[in-house]
Structures are given as structure tokens and as C-alpha cells.
Amino acid sequence: MRYMLLIYNDEAATANASRERTEQILAAYGAYTEALKTSGAWLAGDRLRPTQAGASVRMADGKTNVLDGPYADTKEQLAGFYMIEAMDFDTAKKWAGRCPAASTGTVEVRPIWEMTDYLSEK
């Protein structure tokens, strides 16, 4: 099954981290990504630019609105994701626990809703 690991981190803290600390974190993510790949679990993964580089599009009163910034104003911000292949939810959770973000922020695990599941459920 495919799972999405959503990484939430305090982006201000990340931006303010010392150079040494930043390198340490990057190396930890590098090692984690490597581990995922070696085990065959890695499907995709990317880092997102900070929320201030984002915009949100929604319709209000029948009008398209474009707003600066993210959808939700949260203490920690979505900073990136991994998509992994895992046998079951427990395996996916284990991978989430190993992600460096689990110790600095939060990793949310969400199963992908495969089209085939979706159609059979409806």
C-alpha cells in the first residue's frame, strides 16, 4: 500500500537554525531518504518552499480569491513529504517514526486512496 508522510516543522525555527545545525538536519534527511530507497519503500519525496512563497486559491461568494500564504495558519507548517510503499499501516508508522521530522515536529501518515479502492467503496 502507498502512504503519504506529511512533514510539519516550525519553519521559522528551521530558517533560524545555525549553519551547523542545518547541515546536521540535511544530513539526517539524506540518510533517511537513503534508508527508504535501500529498503525499496521510497516512491517520491520533496521539500516545499516556506509557506510565505505559497498562495491559496478559493472561491468566495462565487468569486475566485487568491490569497498569500497557506490554507491553514498552524504552529508548524507543511514543509515536505515522502510517498512510500509499505506492507501495512504499522510499517508506514515505523517509517514515520524514523523520519527526522518526528523529533523536530510532526509527521502525519495518510494512506493514499487508490482509485480502485475508491470505486469499490462507493
Partner 1 sequence: MENGLEIARAAAEAAARQSYGKLVAWLAARTRDVAGAEDALADAFAAALERWPKAGVPDRPEAWLLAVARRRRVDAIRRRLTGEAARDHLRLVAEEMEASMNDEELPDERLRLMFACAHPAIEPGVRAPLILQTILGFDAATIASAFLVSPATMSQRLVRAKSRIRETGIPFRVPERAELGGRLDAVLEAIYAAFAEGWSDPAGTETQRRNLATEGIWLGRLLASLMPEEPEALGLLSLMLFAEARRAARRSPEGDFVPLAEQDIALWDDMLIDEAEALLGRAAAKAVIGRYQLEAAVQSAHTARRRSGRTDWAAIRQLYDALLAIAGSPVVAINRAVAIAEAEGAAAGLAALYVLGDDKRLADYQPYWAARAGLLARLGNTSQAAEAYDRAIGLERDPAVRRFLQQRRAGLGDGATKG
Partner 2 sequence: MRYMLLIYVNEAAMAAAPTETTYEISAAYGAYTDALKKSGAWLAGDRLKPTQAATSVRMANGKTNVLDGPYADTKEQLAGFYMIEAEDADAAIAWAARCPAASAGTVELRPIWEQTM
Q: What contacts 35, CB < 8 A, 6 or more positions away?
A: 98
Q: Binds 68, which of partner 2, partner 1, none (CB < 5 to 8 A, cut-off by type)?
A: partner 1
Instruction: Tell me how far, at minimum, the Cβ of 94 lies from partner 1, in Å.
Output: 38
Q: What contacts 30, CB < 8 A, 6 or more positions away?
A: none
Per-position x/- string for 75-104, each x denoting binding to partner 2 as judged by CB under 8 A, each - no binding = -x-x-x--x-----x---x--xx-x--xx-
Q: Write the Ramachandran bin of 67: left for phi over 0, alpha for psi from -120 to 50, otherwise beta.
A: beta
Residue 49 interacts with partner 1 (CB under 8 A)? no
Determine contact, residues 19/10, Cβ cutoff 8 Å: no
- Which residue among 12, 39, 55, 88 contacts partner 2 (CB under 8 A)? 55
Q: Binds 21, which of partner 2, partner 1, none (CB < 5 to 8 A, cut-off by type)?
A: none
Distance CA(15)–CA(12), nearest Å, equals 5
Residue 59 interacts with partner 1 (CB under 8 A)? yes
The Cα-based distances of 34 to 30, 41, 72, 119 in angstroms read 6, 10, 31, 35
Grid cell at residue 35: 534508508
Instruction: Tell me how far, at minimum, the Cβ of 98 lies from partner 2, in Å.
Output: 9
Residue 16 interacts with partner 2 (CB under 8 A)? no
> Which residues lie near partner 1 (CB under 8 A)?
55, 57, 59, 61-68
